[in-house]
Chains A and B, each alone.
Chain A
Amino acid sequence: MTEPRNRILWQVGWLSSALILAAYGLFSPLSLLAVNAPRGASPVKFFVIAGGAFLLACALVAILARRMTLHRATGIGAVVLFVFFSWTALRALGEEVSASPVVAGVLVPVVVLAVLVWASVRFGDAQVFRVVVMTMGVALVATPLPSLVSWYAADAISLAVPELEPSDASGPHPDVYFVILDGYGRADVLEETYGYSNKDFLDEMIDHGFVVPEAATSNYSMTAASVASTLAMSYLVDPGVVPDHPLRLALYQIIRGGNPVVASLTDLGYQNVHIESGWDGSRCGPNVDICYPAGFLDEASWTLLNRTPLSAPLEQWFGHAFAQNGLRALDDLTRVAQVGSETPRFVFAHVLLPHPPLNVDGRCRVRPEPQPGGGAVGARFLLDTPAWEDRKAGYVEQIQCVNTKILRFLDDLGDDSVVFITGDHGPDGYGQVAVPPGEWTDADRFERFGVFSAYRLPAGCEQVKQDVDLINGMRLLVGCATGEELEPLPPRHLIFPTPDGDPYPTTEVELVTLNGG
């Protein structure tokens, strides 16, 4: 065989080895991205993690190929990647065999790895083995592709948002803060559903110059529609609309900074400051002037790494990314207030607390495991179980932590700053987000739309009504800041579906008090 032909065969061999490793390094990130792209997840961190694993596998294969054939070394590399990204799935299978965390969490995956490595060494040179490994790799990568293609190939849409006239409001302009405390319920919701009195905190808010409406409501039941519509100051999703990929993407783009609130304030000379939440849906957009990033370990990257052997050390040493990023965003908010600026700033902060999982205690310490019953949303099955009481207690502790952090932020805030702090929707203690609107009870609607809201507006602004909703609250704030007359819109309340299963149409509902009023 000639030298050039040998070289070509050598290169083809390494190329096919690299392709096989790429497939086994990508299958898990791609499947997670396929499920979560509609939830706003960005592919960047998934591919960084996959790329890192791929390079490490290539290094392993290069070392092994000095002692064995390339085919066997590639088989071992593929097996290592496969087990690495399937570790917690194997652990779940192990838990069917044994309740012991050592057996299920370590022994079972290690045994599977050992068997597959042995098979690679024993049969790696056989053509049938290479064909099977290659076929599996192709099938694993191909499975999530249809979902990914449908998401990324969908035509982008633009939602109709109001365009405000350029304002000639004269300065100096105060800083404006818009802080979303995700899932923070209204005081009567906390009392009625959770048996918790938030009076002390609300009294402190009032002492800091805030108005805290007693009957504030959100307009939508889910974050994406609620926050986007508030920033657009209009109802972006009509009743009957079944949200598709282009609509969800358009909502995220509004949240990320492409909205009339930012446009009107930046026209007045405001800097656009954006504190990331750790959820890609509210990450910094292209028109943000100063970004406080979430860091690499956000919820998406944490969830992918949680599929690997790194799951246990991550939980012990870092804690749930949701909790860590929620605390980080609150601390960043205080830093922004401390730093100050000669240029007026619009500061947008989306904080993922007190939204579940319930990993933060009342003193803002992160638990490795969530409070019992507090690991998920949509947990309707917890009702009338002991875990339901644990869940309520865990949510109250997260409220207490958030209260402490917010008061710390207010202590450092300038006295003339305009502030709008609000939940984007209420809690879902009843698990109502997992059921269609027709199954929502009065208690479900009362809880989910009842939000904590607090306003500190400049003197001379129209008074905030006690039953203000988020869209009209923002219209009031921006109208006051820009001097533009923004007529209030009729308050409406709409249940907006999650991006799971067969989404139902957006459904308008009437709100009631628990006494049927």
Chain B
Amino acid sequence: MHLILAYIDPGAGSLLIQLLIGGLAGLAALVKFRWNRIKTAFSRKPQEESNG
């Protein structure tokens, strides 16, 4: 059921979706920009054992 306030729909639902999409886009940009750093952080090899 869609609740309508008078003639104009305040569009609260669409605003939340818009903010969510904007946030996800920002997050995606951050991840892409920092991808190498993130990849390095997750693929860091354990230190080799010292000899002798």
Binding site for B on A (CB under 8 A): 27-28, 31-32, 34-36, 39-41, 86, 89, 92, 127-128, 131-140, 143-144, 223, 279, 281, 299-300, 303, 306-307, 320, 322, 352, 355-357, 375-381, 431, 433-435, 498, 500-501
Taking a contact as CB atoms under 8 Å apart, the answer to whether A355 and B26 are in contact is no
Shortest Cβ distance from A306 into B: residue: B10
Q: List chain B residues, Cβ under 8 A from A35.
A: 9, 11, 14
Taking a contact as CB atoms under 8 Å apart, the answer to whether B1 and A140 are in contact is no
How far, in whole Å, are A89 and B22 apart by their CA atoms in the complex? 14
The B1-48 residues at the A interface (CB cut-off 8 A) are 1-12, 14-19, 21-26, 28-30, 33-34
Taking a contact as CB atoms under 8 Å apart, the answer to whether B8 and A300 are in contact is yes
Closest CB of chain B to A311's CB: distance in Å? 11
Taking a contact as CB atoms under 8 Å apart, the answer to whether B9 and A132 are in contact is no
Taking a contact as CB atoms under 8 Å apart, the answer to whether A132 and B21 are in contact is no
Taking a contact as CB atoms under 8 Å apart, the answer to whether B18 and A27 are in contact is yes
Q: List chain B residues, Cβ under 8 A from A320.
A: 6
Taking a contact as CB atoms under 8 Å apart, the answer to whether A139 and B26 are in contact is yes
Closest CB of chain A to B22's CB: distance in Å? 4
Binding site for A on B (CB under 8 A): 1-12, 14-19, 21-26, 28-30, 33-34
With A135-B28, A136-B26 already in contact, the answer to whether A377 and B17 are too (CB < 8 A) is: no
Taking a contact as CB atoms under 8 Å apart, the answer to whether B23 and A28 are in contact is no
How far, in whole Å, are A27 and B16 apart by their CA atoms in the complex? 12
Taking a contact as CB atoms under 8 Å apart, the answer to whether B2 and A434 are in contact is yes
Taking a contact as CB atoms under 8 Å apart, the answer to whether B9 and A500 are in contact is yes
Taking a contact as CB atoms under 8 Å apart, the answer to whether B3 and A379 are in contact is yes
Taking a contact as CB atoms under 8 Å apart, the answer to whether A299 and B7 are in contact is yes
Q: List chain B residues, Cβ under 8 A from A28.
A: 15
Q: List chain A residues, Cβ under 8 A from B12.
A: 89, 92
How far, in whole Å, are A435 and B4 apart by their CA atoms in the complex? 12
Shortest Cβ distance from B29 into A: residue: A135
Across the A-B interface, give the 6 residue pairs with the lowest CB-CB distance, nearest first: A139-B25, A135-B29, A136-B26, A35-B11, A140-B22, A500-B2
Q: List chain B residues, Cβ under 8 A from A132.
A: 26, 29-30, 33
Taking a contact as CB atoms under 8 Å apart, the answer to whether A131 and B29 are in contact is yes
Taking a contact as CB atoms under 8 Å apart, the answer to whether B5 and A86 are in contact is no
Shortest Cβ distance from A88 into B: residue: B12
Q: List chain B residues, Cβ under 8 A from A322.
A: 6-7
How far, in whole Å, are A371 and B11 apart by their CA atoms in the complex? 21
How far, in whole Å, are A41 and B11 apart by their CA atoms in the complex? 13
Q: List chain A residues, Cβ under 8 A from B33.
A: 127-128, 131-132
Shortest Cβ distance from A143 into B: residue: B18
Q: List chain B residues, Cβ under 8 A from A375.
A: 5
With A434-B3, A501-B2 already in contact, the answer to whether A299 and B8 are too (CB < 8 A) is: yes
Interface pairs (23), CB distance under 8 Å: A31-B18, A32-B15, A34-B14, A35-B9, A89-B19, A92-B12, A128-B34, A132-B29, A135-B26, A139-B24, A139-B26, A140-B22, A143-B21, A144-B14, A279-B7, A307-B15, A352-B6, A355-B6, A375-B5, A377-B4, A378-B1, A434-B1, A434-B3
Taking a contact as CB atoms under 8 Å apart, the answer to whether A143 and B1 are in contact is no
How far, in whole Å, are A307 and B18 apart by their CA atoms in the complex? 14
Taking a contact as CB atoms under 8 Å apart, the answer to whether B22 and A31 are in contact is no
With A136-B23, A501-B2 already in contact, the answer to whether A39 and B8 are too (CB < 8 A) is: yes
Q: List chain B residues, Cβ under 8 A from A356.
A: 6
Taking a contact as CB atoms under 8 Å apart, the answer to whether A144 and B8 are in contact is no
Shortest Cβ distance from A322 into B: residue: B6
Taking a contact as CB atoms under 8 Å apart, the answer to whether B9 and A86 are in contact is no
Shortest Cβ distance from A380 into B: residue: B1
How far, in whole Å, are A10 and B30 apart by their CA atoms in the complex? 26
